[in-house]
Amino acid sequence: MTKSGTKARSTSRTIDDLLADFGTTMPRKTAPPPAPPAEKLFPNSIKAHGVRRPGHGWAPTMPPLAGYQMTSEETPVLWPLISGDGLPPWGAEMGYDVLSGGKFYCDPMSWVLDDTIPVTNPNIFIFGKPGRGKSATVKAFMLRMIRYGYRSLVLGDVKDEYEDISKFLGVDPFRIGPGLPGRINPLDLGALGVDWEKQTAEEQEKRATIIFNRWLMLIRGLVGSQGVSFTPTEETVINEVLQDLTGWSAGASRLKPVTIPQVWAALHSPSKELVNNNRYENPQAFYDGTRPLRDALGALCKGSLQGMFDSESTFQPDWRAPIQTLSLRSLHATGNKVAVGIALMCLNSWGQGIREAAAAGDRRIVLRDEAWLQTRLSLEAVEALDANLRLSRTEGDIQIVTYHKPSDPLSAGDQGSQAAQIAKDLLNLSDVRILMGQDESVADELGRLMGLSEMQQNVITNWAMQEKGRALWMVGDQRYKVQTLLTPLERRLTYTNEAIDPAG
Ligand SMILES: Nc1ncnc2c1ncn2[C@@H]1O[C@H](COP(=O)(O)OP(=O)(O)OP(=O)(O)O)[C@@H](O)[C@H]1O
Ligand SMILES: [Mg+2]
């Protein structure tokens, strides 16, 4: 059987034989060229311990680096998982960098101090569609920075959503709103008024200038937000009124406290000097000329805002407490958005005054959540926020501002080119921007304003929309794809869906 089988196989015709009948042959693959001698990937490399040979010994320097040239598509094959310069493990541990798989830390003040990180101010702007986790990210950051000595000041919590955290930390939130007893005087002297008598005349002069400038900036914002122009004439009048009321123009050594109704009253029944100094012909001319200004200030003392910003402050911040929050929900609930914007402006100015003389090493996170409510009021309101943010470097605060979309700060007033320009400059006041999930419709706008590549825009419109807490972090010119993680306790403290969750 075997024999016959062998015979059968030996007589069978090969494919070549069969094809030969048709006058053709099988196409042959040409022999491959001889393989080049196997090359080592890293030739000439010397082990860190040097060469074990007489006369060689330990390497005094590190071995020379081998150079390679390849395209950016090829590099990840040899060096996978490296996505760019990582940030140092300093400050709040926020979550993880999905490109490198490493932990992601946030410590803006240390970033400013480190010249290798392209950040020159510690301000943070957070953008994101409602519900993507802007506030939760801020809350996690605040909580995690406590252990590094940071305390937080929430300037205007329009949803009272920082109250849970505040209570958890043992601090009673301060509430202001229609009918509530709390009062904030936006014209507080602030920290610069402390120990006034102990200062030299020169220092007092310097402090008075800062205080008057802050007040003027606030009044300009308040008046401008009601559509009343604040020209140099109005500025001079207000400046004089403020100097009179504080006693500064009469050479007083101590500045008297001032409130908005007092400023209003001084304009309502002007002194002879005020009329003459501002070159009005008579009190009636003054009265007529300053009517819009007076009415704009008067609006702060009636309606929704009555009893909130028109008398001495009743709130004395406890700077040793880990958090101080000023809740504005009851005002927000009235639905009067202009009033909320004005209230935020007053709180900002007050907050700035309170921080003006911060002791060195007093580290604070100052939050302006939902800042669009303020900046969309007017150009002056944008300028007021701009002035507040510029100070962070000198005061050592980390100022955080949250917005829905990048054009929110641009929606100031009537979109005049000046307003838009200042609002764009406002974006430049932060070197750290956190871009959370957004709809496609905002992607172009994001790309335009922030100089994002198409791929980065996609990160925001796709990847970041798939989970809460996902964001493209822009740290100077570096970009990180970060997932913020919340602990179970933080999830509870940051939960903001009570109103829409049937189980909640
Ligand atoms: N990283 C996260 N992991 C899990 N849940 C999160 C995360 N971030 C936010 N959430 C949850 O998502 C909900 C909405 O978050 P948050 O209130 O922070 O959104 P927001 O962007 O501030 O919205 P809005 O613009 O309405 O203020 C909250 O209940 C919060 O607990
Ligand atoms: Mg929020």
> Which of 127, 496, 500, 501 is the best mutation target for the ligand 1 pocket, counting ligand atoms within 8 Å of the beta carbon and taking the most?
496
> Which of 132, 367, 473 is the best mutation target for the ligand 1 pocket, counting ligand atoms within 8 Å of the beta carbon and taking the most?
132
CA of 495 to the centre of ligand 1 (A): 7
User: Relative to the CA of 497, which ligand 1 atom is closest?
Assistant: 29
> Which of 142, 332, 468 is the best mutation target for the ligand 1 pocket, counting ligand atoms within 8 Å of the beta carbon and taking the most?
468
Query: Half-sphere exposure (CA, 13 Å, Cβ side) for 191?
Result: 14
Q: Which two tokens stand for residue 157?
A: 């919590």
Q: How many CB atoms lie within 10 A of CB 142?
A: 24
Q: Which letter does DSSP use for residue 463 in this model?
A: I
Phi/psi of residue 475, nearest 5 degrees: -110, 100
Measured distance CA(156)–CA(347) in Å, rounded: 7
Q: In this structure, is the dihedral angle defined by the CA atoms of residues 93, 96, 100 and 102, taken in order, positive or negative?
A: positive
Cβ atoms of residues 212 and 239 within 8 Å: yes
The residue from 312, 341, 370 where one domain ends is: 312
Q: Which letter does DSSP use for residue 57 in this model?
A: B
Q: What's the pLDDT score for residue 7?
A: 45
On whether both 375 and 445 belong to a single domain, the answer is yes
CA of 367 to the centre of ligand 2 (A): 11
Q: What's the pLDDT score for residue 18?
A: 77
Measured distance CA(378)–CA(372) in Å, rounded: 11
Q: What's the pLDDT score for residue 1?
A: 39
Nearest to 258 by CA among 342, 189, 347, 352: 189
Q: How many CB atoms lie within 10 A of CB 91?
A: 21
- Cα distances from 464 to residues 55, 128, 230, 482, in angstroms, run 59, 10, 43, 9
On whether both 302 and 389 belong to a single domain, the answer is no
- Give domain status of residue 151, yes or no: yes
Q: In one letter, which amino acid is 502?
A: P
User: Relative to the CA of 490, which ligand 1 atom is closest?
Assistant: 31
- Give domain status of residue 368, yes or no: yes
- Give domain status of residue 59, yes or no: no
Bridge partners of 399? Answer: 366
On whether both 228 and 272 belong to a single domain, the answer is yes
CA of 130 to the centre of ligand 1 (A): 8
Cβ atoms of residues 365 and 371 within 8 Å: no
- Give domain status of residue 209, yes or no: yes
On whether both 193 and 288 belong to a single domain, the answer is yes
- Give domain status of residue 29, yes or no: no
CA of 457 to the centre of ligand 2 (A): 22
CA of 380 to the centre of ligand 1 (A): 31
Q: Which letter does DSSP use for residue 70 in this model?
A: -
Helix, strand, coil fractions of the chain, as percent rounded to 5: 45, 10, 45
Q: What's the pLDDT score for residue 2?
A: 42
Q: In one letter, which amino acid is 48?
A: A
Q: Which two tokens stand for residue 360?
A: 């060195």
Cβ atoms of residues 264 and 301 within 8 Å: yes
Bridge partners of 174? Answer: 326
On whether both 174 and 190 belong to a single domain, the answer is no
Q: In one letter, which amino acid is 286?
A: F
Q: Which protein residues touch ligand 1 with a CB less than 6 Å away?
A: 128, 130-136, 468-469, 484, 486, 491, 494-497
Cβ atoms of residues 265 and 274 within 8 Å: no
Q: What's the pLDDT score for residue 21?
A: 84
Q: What's the pLDDT score for residue 407?
A: 67
User: Relative to the CA of 138, which ligand 1 atom is closest?
Assistant: 18
Measured distance CA(404)–CA(436) in Å, rounded: 9
Q: How many CB atoms lie within 10 A of CB 456?
A: 18
Q: Hey, whose CA ends up nearest to atom 31 of ligand 1?
A: 495
On whether both 166 and 127 belong to a single domain, the answer is yes
The residue from 265, 282, 312 where one domain ends is: 312
Measured distance CA(475)–CA(88) in Å, rounded: 12
On whether both 160 and 248 belong to a single domain, the answer is no
User: Relative to the CA of 470, which ligand 1 atom is closest?
Assistant: 1
The residue from 312, 346, 379 where one domain ends is: 312
> Which of 96, 494, 501 is the best mutation target for the ligand 1 pocket, counting ligand atoms within 8 Å of the beta carbon and taking the most?
494
- Give domain status of residue 259, yes or no: yes
Nearest to 152 by CA among 367, 395, 369, 466: 367
pLDDT in tens, the chain (504 residues): 344 444 445 567 777 787 788 787 766 667 666 666 666 655 566 666 666 777 666 655 666 677 777 777 777 676 665 556 688 999 999 999 998 888 999 999 999 999 999 899 899 999 999 999 999 999 999 999 999 999 999 998 999 999 999 999 999 999 988 888 888 888 988 878 888 888 888 888 888 998 999 899 889 888 888 888 888 888 999 999 999 999 988 887 788 889 999 999 999 988 888 888 888 888 888 888 888 889 888 888 887 788 888 888 888 888 788 999 999 998 888 888 888 888 888 888 888 887 777 777 788 999 998 888 887 777 777 777 887 777 655 667 899 999 887 666 555 545 556 656 666 777 888 899 999 999 988 877 778 888 888 889 999 999 999 999 999 999 998 899 999 999 999 999 998 876 666 554
Q: Hey, whose CA ends up nearest to atom 24 of ligand 1?
A: 130
- Cα distances from 448 to residues 406, 442, 452, in angstroms, run 10, 10, 7
Q: Hey, whose CA ends up nearest to atom 27 of ligand 1?
A: 130
Domain span at residue 461 reads 92-179+322-493
- Give domain status of residue 57, yes or no: no
On whether both 382 and 474 belong to a single domain, the answer is yes
On whether both 336 and 408 belong to a single domain, the answer is yes
Measured distance CA(173)–CA(131) in Å, rounded: 23
On whether both 328 and 359 belong to a single domain, the answer is yes
Nearest ligand, CA of residue 96?
Answer: 1
CA of 7 to the centre of ligand 1 (A): 82
Domain count, the chain: 2
Measured distance CA(234)–CA(245) in Å, rounded: 16
On whether both 259 and 375 belong to a single domain, the answer is no
Q: Which two tokens stand for residue 481?
A: 């794809």
- Give domain status of residue 74, yes or no: no
Q: Hey, whose CA ends up nearest to atom 1 of ligand 1?
A: 469
Q: What is the CATH number of the domain that holds 408?
A: 3.40.50.300
Q: Which two tokens stand for residue 30?
A: 């040409």
On whether both 341 and 387 belong to a single domain, the answer is yes
